[in-house]
Amino acid sequence: MEDQKVLADRIAEGLRDQGMAVDVAYDGEAAMEITAFTAYDVIVLDRDLPRVDGLNLGADDYLAKPFAFAELVARIRSLARRSPSRPPVVFCGDLVVDLVRRRVSRAGQPLALTRKEFGVLEVLLAADGGVVSAEELLEKVWDEHADPFSNTVSVTVSRLRRKLGHPPPIETVIGSGYRLRGAP
């Protein structure tokens, strides 16, 4: 059991290094509890089932152990692209976001964004002009260990605004959150 926790933690850290927000549950009961309150794009389960049985129970994909970490990342990204359905490149005014290659440019100029800045932009794009609360950004871009009372979201949004330039495409909706102007 302890080996499985170590493996889960290592996989989670590797996925975070790839720019993904990751929560870890070490047993089915904990997993059921966190999925009741959070809508995940992809859920990775460690199941001891034959490939066909897992797929028959509703899994969209199956990766047998041992596996290459790069393959796990590629499959997770593939599954995430299916839900919600989004094009691989999104245009928002003169802002171009390549979701697959994780590249951003504005008015033809490439922008260097951190993983968290890209994650915030990705969530705002997915909201399609809707307001996204700081709590939702914290939940989707950071992980369960993020301090909900910190100003990390507002600091990241400020840095992102500065990098995106003028006029700023991210609008603050006082008391509610943020939205992307001219969303696709």
The domains of the chain are located at 2-82, 89-180
Name the pTM for this structure: 0.58
| Among the listed residues 29, 57, 30, 60, the one whose alpha carbon sits nearest the alpha carbon of residue 44 | 60
CATH 3.40.640.10 for the 89-180 domain, yes or no: no
Percentage, residues of the chain above pLDDT 70? 86
Which positions ≥6 away from 59 have C-beta within 8 Å?
45
Q: How many CA atoms, within 13 angstroms, populate the side-chain half-sphere of residue 27?
A: 4
Structure tokens at 28: 């089915």
Per-residue confidence band for 86, with pLDDT thresholds at 50, 70 and 90: low
Q: What is the predicted pLDDT for the residue at 54?
A: 65
Q: How far is CA 117 from the centre of its chain?
A: 11
Q: What is the predicted pLDDT for the residue at 57?
A: 64
Residue 136 pLDDT exceeds 80: yes
Q: Tens digits of per-residue pLDDT, 17-49? A: 988 889 898 887 788 778 767 778 888 888 765
